[in-house]
Amino acid sequence: MVHIYIAEGRSEEQKREMVRRVTQAIRETINPQSSIEIVVHEVPRRNIAIDGKTLAEM
């Protein structure tokens, strides 16, 4: 199972494309026959900080 953490705010289309590409990369590099489960965690921008500022503040 793959867990991906991203800041909230991406469109459904962007998330679908990301999941499609991650699935493709795993199939090409690890095991083309395996079932691939992906969980996308959308983290509020106020809960992610870089250099002492939240993404919401940037």
Tens digits of residue pLDDT in 26-56: 999 987 788 999 999 999 999 999 999 999 9
Q: Which two tokens stand for residue 12?
A: 């459904």
Q: Which two tokens stand for residue 41?
A: 């965690």
Count of domains for the chain: 1
First to last CA, the chain: 32
What's 24's domain CATH number? 3.30.429.10
Range of the domain at 43: 2-54
Residue type, 34: S
- Model-level pTM? 0.84
Residue type, 39: V
Closest CA to 19 of 30, 27, 9, 31: 27
- Residue 42: its pLDDT value, please? 98
- If you ran DSSP here, which 8-state letter would residue 34 be given? S
